[in-house]
Amino acid sequence: MKHSILVLALLAVFTSPNLFAQNTSPNFANKGRDWFISKTTGSGQMGTKERPAKDLGNIIHHLKPNDRIHIAEGVYMSKGKNGSDEITVPVQIYGGYNTDFSYRDPWDAHKTIFTGTNDYMKSTLPRIYIHTDKSRESNGHKSTGSAIVVDGIIIDNGPRNRYHKDENLAIRRTAHPPTNKNPSPESGGIVVVGSKYTNISVVNCVVMNTAPTQGVISVQVFEGGKGLIQNNFCINNTGYGIHARTGYMGTDESKLPVFDIKYNTVLFTWKHDAVASYGGDALALEQNLIATVERNTLAYGHMGGLYSKGAKLKLINNIFAGNSKYDYKEINDKMAIADVVDEAMYLDPMSDGNKGMLIKIPVGERWAALYADRKEMSREQVDAAVTVPNTGANQLRSIFGLNVQGTGVSADAEIFLPLITIEEALPAGQYPWEGAGCTIPKQKS
C-alpha cells in the first residue's frame, strides 16, 4: 500500500510547470490564483482561505487558466443545485480538505461529494465537465498547453438518476414531466477534453451510480499531450469505467497522446441497458494513442475487462475477475487474459504479469444481495459467443461473502444499476488485490 501514501505527492511532480511550459500559448501561461470552497463555512464569491465560496458552481465564471481550486469536505450540488460544473479553461481541482484547508483525506474523514438532484430541467451534463479544446488566444488561434487536474473528488450520481417507482432499484433514461422527474443523465462523472499539448490527470477520485453511454471517467488528450489516470475507484456505472480517448488523428507517432493508467479499481460496469450490446467494459481505449496500463483491477464488467480499439498498449500486472464475455477485446477479437500475450496484435511484447482470479469484494451486504440475485434478460440470446464464462449466481454470492442460495429477484428489468451508497461502496476501494487496484489516499502528515 506504499503507493497510497505517495500518490498525492506524485501529482505535484506530474503537474510541475516545467512539464507544460513547452508549446503553452500566452493565454494558458497565465499564473493563476488559488480558490477555496467550503460548503460549511463558505459565503460570497471572494474564494479566499479566510472567506471561501460555498460551491464551485458559484465561482466558475471567475476562473482563469491555471487557477487552483481547493474544496473542503461536504456535499456539493453546483450553482442552483444544477448538478453539473462546466469549465472551459485549464484548472486544477483538489478535494478532500478539512474545513481549515490544512489536511486532506478525500475518501475517509473529509469527503468532498459532488452530486445533484433529479428535478425536472436540471442539467444532464457530466458532473465535472472540463473542456478547453475550443479556447482561443487574442489572435484567434486555439490555446495550447498547460495542465488540467481533478484530484480527490467523490462523484455520486445516485440522486441525479430517475429510478423506477422511486425504489432505487432500476434507472430510467427518459424524463417523466408529470412527476417533475428528469431522465437519468447519460453522461460521465468526470469528463475532461484537453487542448493540444495539454497534460491531464485524474487521480484519487471515486465515481459511482453514473449511467453514461461512454466513459465514467473520460479523458481525451490531444496532440503532444499526456494523460495520467491513477488511483481512482469506479463502481456501479454503465458504459466504460475508464475511457482513454484521443484527439489526434495524424500519423506522426511522436505526437500521439500518451497515457499512464495505473492503480485503478473498476467494478460492476453495466451495459447501457438490460439488452444492449454495448457498454459494460471496465476500461476502453481508442486507437491513435499510446497507453501503459499497470496494476489495475478490472472486474465484473457486463461485457469485459479491457476493450482496446487499436491502442498501442503495454499491459503489466493487472487483475481481471468475473468479466462476462471477455477479459480483453482488441477491435473485434475477444480473449481470456491467459491468451492475450499470444493472440493480441497491438500489445507491447514486454506486457507481462496479468492474470485472472477470483476476488472478494467487501461492498455492503444489501447492495451485494441485489446484484448477486438479479436475473439476466436472455444474456445468451442477446450476447452470443461468450468467451469468458460469467460467474454463476452462487459463485458471485461467494465473492461478496454472502450465503449461497437461489435467486430472489423477479427480472433484470426491475434490477438495473441499483443505487449503491457511498458507505456501501468505499470499503471495496480501500485496498488493492495483490498490489493491483486503488487504495485509500491520505495526505502524509
Facing residues of 34 across strands? 68
The residue among 409 and 281 whose pLDDT is bigger is: 281
- Inform me whether the pLDDT recorded for 5 exceeds 60: no
- Inform me whether the pLDDT recorded for 410 exceeds 50: no
- Closest C-alpha to 429, from 359, 341, 325, 369: 359
Is residue 18 very low, low, confident or very high in pLDDT (cuts 50, 70, 90)?
very low
- Closest C-alpha to 418, from 142, 211, 229, 247: 211
**pLDDT tens-digit profile of 291-337?**
999 999 999 999 999 999 999 999 999 999 999 999 999 999 999 99
- Inform me whether the pLDDT recorded for 406 exceeds 60: no
Is residue 402 very low, low, confident or very high in pLDDT (cuts 50, 70, 90)?
confident
Range in 43-47, 220-224, 373-377 the model is least confident about:
373-377
- Inform me whether the pLDDT recorded for 369 exceeds 90: yes
CB-count exposure of residue 12 (10 Å: 0-12, 13-18, 19+): exposed
- Closest C-alpha to 316, from 339, 299, 341, 343: 341
- Inform me whether the pLDDT recorded for 378 exceeds 60: no
Q: Which domains does the chain have, with CATH numbers?
A: 2-362+419-429 (2.160.20)
DSSP assignment letter at 35: E
Phi-psi region of 197 (alpha: psi -120 to 50; beta: other; left: phi over 0): left
Residues 234 and 189: their CA atoms lie apart, in Å, by 10
- Inform me whether the pLDDT recorded for 393 exceeds 80: no
- Closest C-alpha to 241, from 284, 282, 189: 282
- Closest C-alpha to 433, from 267, 319, 301, 300: 319
Task: Kindly state the average pLDDT of the residues 347-357.
Answer: 96
**pLDDT tens-digit profile of 124-179?**
999 999 999 999 999 999 999 999 999 999 999 999 999 999 999 999 999 999 99
CA-CA-CA-CA torsion sign (80, 86, 89, 95):
positive
Contact 262, 204 (CB under 8 A): no
The residue among 41 and 391 whose pLDDT is bigger is: 41
The pLDDT of residue 392:
57
The pLDDT of residue 376:
65
Range in 39-53, 353-367, 378-392 the model is least confident about:
378-392
The helix/strand/coil state of 372 is: helix
C-alpha grid cell, residue 46: 471572494
The pLDDT of residue 276:
84
- Inform me whether the pLDDT recorded for 422 exceeds 60: yes
Residues 96 and 107: their CA atoms lie apart, in Å, by 7
The pLDDT of residue 383:
45
How many CB atoms sit inside 10 A of residue 385's CB? 8
